Amino acid sequence: MTKIVWQQGELIEVTIANLSDTGDGVGRADERVVFVPDTVPGDRAIVRLIHVKPKYAHGKLQQLLEPSPHRIRPSCIVADKCGGCQWQHINYNYQLVAKQNQVIQALERIGGFVQPPVDSVLAAPSALNYRNKSTYPLLRAATGQIQAGYYQKGSHQLINLNQCPVQDSRLNPLLAEVKQDIQQRGWQIYDEQRHLGQIRHLGLRIGRHTGEMLLTLVVKDWNLSRIETQAQEWLKRYPQLVGVSLNRNSDRTNAIFGSETRCIAGVPHLREKFAGMEFQVRPDTFFQVYTETAEALLQVIQSELNLQGHELLVDAYCGIGTLTLPLAKKVRQATGLEVQPAAVEQAILNAQCNGIDNVTFQVGAVEKLLTKMGTIPEVVILDPPRKGCDRTVIDTLRQLKPSRIVYVSCKVATLARDLKLLCQDGQYTITRVQPADFFPQTAHVEAAAFLVLSHLDKDTKSFKKN
């Protein structure tokens, strides 16, 4: 039978059956897969083919013939344009189902696990108004108006926003009004094509439990006329604003923040309550954007580990100690490993502020620090960046043989890859995987995998110190 040849620009009818890990709807037609943004499983639609490959194609929703029962009206008027969210048109309960399936499929297809023990997704307390941090690129429009927002899906065209339904609503007045202040000051907006201008991004941050806010301008250099005066005006206008900072990024890069931040007015950090403890969070500190869901996942970790107070614990990729410090209160000794010196400085300060003295922090690459461990920890927490663990980390852990490992991941593909290596030859067994929704309205999902050392390896622990 001759396969039908697809042509770019052609219209075809597709029924959407699934969602990809990037958030696109996935359908099949003529024995080929079609990826279609802005669709929901159950949608029957006319789709225009945009990019055609031999075995699959990417399409654009042209006409909705029959809507899915999981389809809803988005909360945001620019949801169909803005690239900040992918799933505002999908019922939240179905988002949770899709995210659980995403974790299961990654573990099965990439990890090779059969019927992995994946729990239902830990739901967010609210599917909107949750982000404690937002960073917006800035643009001067042809009209001269200063705009801030997110880029349109699949483009570099900025969608101007005066409020965002997924960020903490207390930040909305700053988003709308600071743009006007920048315009009145006559400050130049950075032009990435010509590498000219001053202000690149507007950063907003809030302590969900304290209400304290930070405002940060990412600039090409420090020479921003009368910024001190404007910073004081912002502090007076917004009672919850505790600090105004500049972050310098002079490179031609897509990275948002540069390496140096200066506090212009107020204090260089906000206070946040997390898991009953107080943390200091700076403008460029990594801190989970959904505070309450992060706390809920920590509770699951604490419950699952059931720490008895005698354990040695290592928290790899520890950041400012968000997981290290609450867990340190339940073990004999905790050690945090982190490559960023500034994060370790904050972690030490946070330990002191909370009166925790059974924890130490080490600066350096995790793959190097782990090989220098003088003792074998009973519990290791892994919370790496999206790229996952360096292979040396996996190999060292398989030599160290800690009794339990908790792997917290923000990208299930690398989680599945690393778990496959850790569980090779049956050395470790996955007892539970708990997904958590840190990013409602998007396809992103966090997951904590719990591993135990097999009985055979418990009797043959060995580690050769380099």
**DSSP conformation letters of 378-397:** SEEEE---TT---HHHHHHH
Q: Determine the straight-line distance between the first and last CA of the chain, rounded to whole angstroms.
A: 62
φ, ψ at 51 (rounded to 5°): -125, 120
Question: Which residue(s) pair with 432 in the sheet?
Answer: 450
Q: CA 85 to CA 150: how far, in whole Å?
A: 10
* Residue 336 and residue 321 in contact, taking contact as beta carbons nearer than 8 Å: yes
Q: Is 410 a residue of the active site? A: yes
With tokens 């020479």, the residue in question is 223
Instruction: Determine which one of 76, 82, 164, 410 is catalytic.
Output: 410
With tokens 């496959």, the residue in question is 420
Which runs of consecutive H residues, i.e. helices, occur in 201-356?
227-237, 291-305, 324-328, 341-353
Helix H or strand E encompassing 414: helix 412-422
Half-sphere exposure of 328 (CA within 13 A, CB side): 26
* Residue 117 and residue 434 in contact, taking contact as beta carbons nearer than 8 Å: no
What would you report as the CA-atom Rg of the chain, rounded to the nearest whole angstrom?
24
Which positions are catalytic? 410
